[in-house]
Structure 1
Amino acid sequence: MRTANVILFCSIFLLTACKDDECSTMLNAVTAFEQVWNDFDQTYAYFELKDIDWDSLYNANSSNINEETTFDELESILAQVTLSLRDLHVRFIGSNKTYQFRKRDQFLDNSPENAVNYLSDIIFDNNRVVLGNIQSTNIAYVRIKRLGGMPADYTEFSTIFQTLPTKDALILDVRENGGGNDAVGKAFAERLTMEERIYEYVRFRNGTEHHDFNDWTPIDISPSNPVNFDKPIILLTNRGCYSSAESFVLMIKTLPNVTQVGDTTGGATGNPKIFSLSNGWKYYISSWQAATIDFQLIEDHGIAPDVVVNNTEETFNDGRDLILEKAIELLD
């Protein structure tokens, strides 16, 4: 990595130590760029995985920045630098715009939009959860649309677990779930496990080198008022399943009666830390690496299904859901 000189360290020290009213006059494009670059350099967890030459990015951009550079120009430069990391959890918030990398547009045909065509006896369908039955079966269908908020917000879970013991199987759909809060996923998964299970390992950057990390730490689920449901569970995933939803997938996959069907998950997990400049700009930096119980990194790889199924544009437009159809077939 590039070695910062004395002038750089003095600039950073003065920037971080000054009072708010002083910072507004001291902050310029040079010191702002140096601070952002150094925060990423010391925090970001995926330089090596993504084969990012951070020093080259510094050299390519710092030569275009001087004390005459405007903050509009700097915002554009910082936006492009952060987007170059190709990381869903990295965000740069400038004066009037948020810049965030997007991984996908082309996998929408694998969405769960057509699943409703296969359902009957829908108990609820809101912005959090769908609960119904697969037509002409005794198979429960649950779609968890997001994991935002807190576990207490998901009052639907109580109904799900009250009705589940009477069902022959469960289809659990987390396609297009962009994540949110691991605690929400745990509130569901811990109702299904009868024993403590490690589902994930994480480690954080802890040094100046890009390969400096602490030891891998296991993360587990433990039984919490569990329902002893040992019947088949089919877990539906696609590329729109990210972040905490991927941790949720790993939680559910520790159960012995689960089969994952569909497409590989999106591969985005970062536990971002938030940093800011004195002019109000903020940026989020992925600070950890998360891995499966086999120590396979999730970022940019995702979690592959046990049974691969993809919709086609034709079947999707016809109102069909081949992924859900395969789940029903496996349970027949």
Structure 2
Amino acid sequence: MTKIPTVSEMEELLLRDSTTDDFMPGMPDKHIPEKQMTAADVKHDVSVLARLLIRAYVGWPVHSEIIKRKVLKNLVDIYNNAHDMTAMEFFEQLKPVLSYIPDNHISLRFNKQRVGTHQTRKAVNVGRNIAGDKQIATQVKNDIAIIGFTRMLRNDDFANTILEFAKNTLPKSTALIIDLRGNGGGNSFYSDLFAEHLCGTWIDSMKEVYVRATPEAKKLQHAAQPNAGWKDVPESEELTLWKTGKNYTANPEKAYMKPIYILTDDQTGSSAEMFLLRMIHHPCVHVVGDNSAGMEEYGNMANSFLPHSQITVAVGMNYRKLLQEDFELNGYTPDIKCPDGTDALTVAMTEIKKSKTLQSQTPER
């Protein structure tokens, strides 16, 4: 009877052909699909990829033995059957490797293709962001302030638009709509501050944040974000608690205490979800549209490319324990789920109109 290797045995096999020195942080100058790789090149690249996953990726200690076994079995099969091939053929062999990992950020990228986990649910069309092809846009309809973000950015134009909107538009409004449809994230700096302004205080989006502090993880962290707050975490083989959430309650005395409707779809992810997970603690918030992408448990991505094929590997440096379970599988479920083909903005406007009508019909006491 053939002995089935354990997870530890497969890890040991795959790690033996690489070291931390083989990591190549960043992205290659170009991809060459027709580049020829020897069997030894294939084995080396598989080993480097395995080291990135097993030793640097923050999610590896979190995932179940079943998931690890599926990933490792794929890598071991490629490793044991290595032969001369092109870089593109190697990429095709690697495509299934990450499909088992419930992490919507982790990816392999090569020749304008990106592969990661399998899509876990069917998306519906709930309309396009009001910003269209722009990254941020504002408008006012019937005294309702509307702001749309298609990216979360950290630049002057983005900041100035939010500041002007908060200072001059919000005070005159009777309600607020925040459009996050199609927003795959970016940099959360100014969107976090906007959430703080709307909630009247800082709201945490998670329960706990963990980092890895292995030599491999630290090498990627230093290259990707050399000044990040976790840079001084002591080296360790254990998953390390870095930060704990403290506040999930808005301050009504300073907050924007009027109806707030947030529009989401299956593309609302990463730092856009971080903004959403802060805002849901505001007592006046309603979420409309489709489930968000589910890209918030693993984040602060670092890139490294494989030495021979030049395939880029993106792995998370932070693991966030959220208040909601199975977030990567489900995303955030809106309060009002829109059927396919229904515009979430129209639904939100209708809900606000209904609310105003009810208020006007309620006799004063």
Work out whether the TM-score is over 0.5: yes
SS at match of 2:94: helix
- Please give the alpha-carbon distance, in whole angstroms, between the structure 2 residues aligned to 1:311 and 1:14: 49
Deviations 1:103-127 (A, max 9, x none): 38953421246xx6xxxxxxx8761
Query: 1:160-181: per-residue Cα shift (whole Å, max 9, x none)?
Result: 1122101111122212211111
Contact 1:169 1:331 in 2 (8 A): no
1:93 is aligned to: 109
- Once the two structures are superposed, the pairs formed by residues 158-237 of structure 1 within 5 Å of their partners are 158-161=163-166, 162-204=168-210, 206=212, 213-215=239-241, 217-218=243-244, 229-237=256-264
Contact 2:138 2:146 (8 Å CA) reproduced: yes
Q: Are residue 275 (structure 1) and residue 290 (structure 2) matched? A: no
Q: How many Å separate the matches in 2 of 1:273 and 1:143? A: 28
Task: Write the letter of the residue equivalent to 1:290.
Answer: R
Q: What is the alpha-carbon distance in structure 2 between the residues aligned to residue 320 and residue 250 of structure 1?
A: 20
1:128 aligns with 2:135: yes
Q: CA deviation at 1:41?
A: 2.0
Shift, 1:36, TM fit: 0.5
Q: How far is 1:310 from its partner?
A: 0.9
TM-fit CA distance, 1:31: 1.5
- Determine the C-alpha separation between the residues in 2 that align with 1:201 and 1:298: 13
Q: Which residue of 2 aligns with 1:152?
A: 156
Distance 1:327 1:174, change over 3 A: farther
SS of the equivalent of 1:180 reads coil
**C-alpha distance 213-301 of structure 1, shift in aligned 2 (>3 A):** farther
Are 2:337 and 1:300 aligned? no
How many aligned positions are there?
Answer: 305
Contact preservation (8 Å) 2:128, 2:181: yes
1:82 aligns with 2:98: yes
Kindly, what percent of the aligned residue pairs are identical? 18
Counterpart of 1:192 in 2: which secondary structure? Answer: helix
The equivalent of 2:34 in structure 1 is none
Residue 324 of structure 1: how far off its partner (Å):
4.2
Query: RCO higher in 1 or 2 (8 Å CA, sep ≥ 6)?
Result: 2
Q: Distance in 1 between matches of 2:15 and 2:132?
A: 55
Structure 2 counterpart of 1:127, which letter?
K
Unmatched runs of 5 consecutive residues or more in structure 2: 1-6, 25-36, 215-236, 358-365
Return 5+ residue gaps in structure 1 as ranges. Answer: 19-23, 117-123
Q: Aligned equivalents of 1:47 and 1:76: distance in 2?
A: 27
Give the structure-2-normalised TM-score.
Answer: 0.69
Q: How far off its partner does 1:240 sit? A: 2.2
> Which deviates the most, 235-244 or 199-208?
199-208
Q: TM-score, normalised by structure 1?
A: 0.75
Contact 1:143–1:173 at 8 Å: present in 2 too?
Answer: yes
Residue 59 of structure 2 is matched in structure 1 by: 45
Structure 2 equivalent of residue 21 of structure 1: none
1:30 to 36, 40, 43: 43
Q: CA deviation at 1:91?
A: 1.9
Q: Give the SS at the match of 1:179.
A: coil
Using the TM superposition, give the Cα deviation of residue 81 of structure 1 relative to its aligned residue in structure 2, in angstroms: 1.1
